[in-house]
A = this chain, B = another copy of it.
């Protein structure tokens, strides 16, 4: 798979072109979420979309570009959830966050993790952009005191981990998990406001900036 990403090979000006591209991206997301990386072949996507393999390459330069489109679409959903939660009063944020994330992951369990953790090498620019916005919005859930960036990373990773595993295990739709996750998020948020087990103003070796360079795990 080529590393270079040319994105859309053609800007779909006509109505039908845009529709075809949409169909392909949707099929790709379904194939990736349902069959994992092992089943994510260009021919499988074409078949799932009901078009020929030639048509896939008419709209996407290569497999990486197709994957990029899937990624972008998912990212938009997740960022919308985060923005929604940050707009709520602090007391409702944990609940809004958890509910939104559960909803966002419901239809395609595993997609988020597949996209973030196992991505084949890409140029990463778009991912970095997304990750920055993602962490910024997560940080907005916390009051400014302490190290909101670090807390954002920890909470984001924890929530993602639980939701992904639950999606795999099949318990994502249950009310119990929702409440348990809200407990986790609330407890963590509260503990940080009350002051952690360490003195305020401790060094902060992990920053949002560090997170943005997280290319080490690419291609996993």
Contact = CB atoms under 8 A, between A and B. Distances in A.
A167 B217 contact: yes
Contacts of A161: 157-162, 164
Nearest to A172: B206
A92 to B, nearest CB: 12
Contacts of A164: 117, 157, 161, 217
Which range holds the interface residue count of chain A?
A: 35 or more
A167 B202 CA distance: 21
Given A161-B162, A175-B205, A182 B197 contact: yes
A35 interface: yes
Contacts of A197: 179, 182-183, 186
A2 interface: no
A175 B28 CA distance: 40
A171 interface: yes
- CB-CB nearest 7 A-B residue pairs: A161-B161, A168-B217, A36-B220, A171-B206, A158-B158, A187-B191, A169-B214
Interface of A: 35-39, 109-110, 113-114, 117-118, 120-121, 147, 150-151, 153-154, 156-162, 164-171, 174-177, 179-184, 186-188, 190-192, 196-198, 202-206, 210-211, 213-214, 216-220
21 contacts: A36-B219, A113-B117, A118-B118, A153-B165, A153-B166, A154-B180, A158-B162, A159-B161, A160-B165, A169-B217, A171-B205, A176-B205, A176-B206, A177-B206, A179-B202, A180-B196, A183-B188, A184-B191, A186-B197, A187-B188, A187-B190
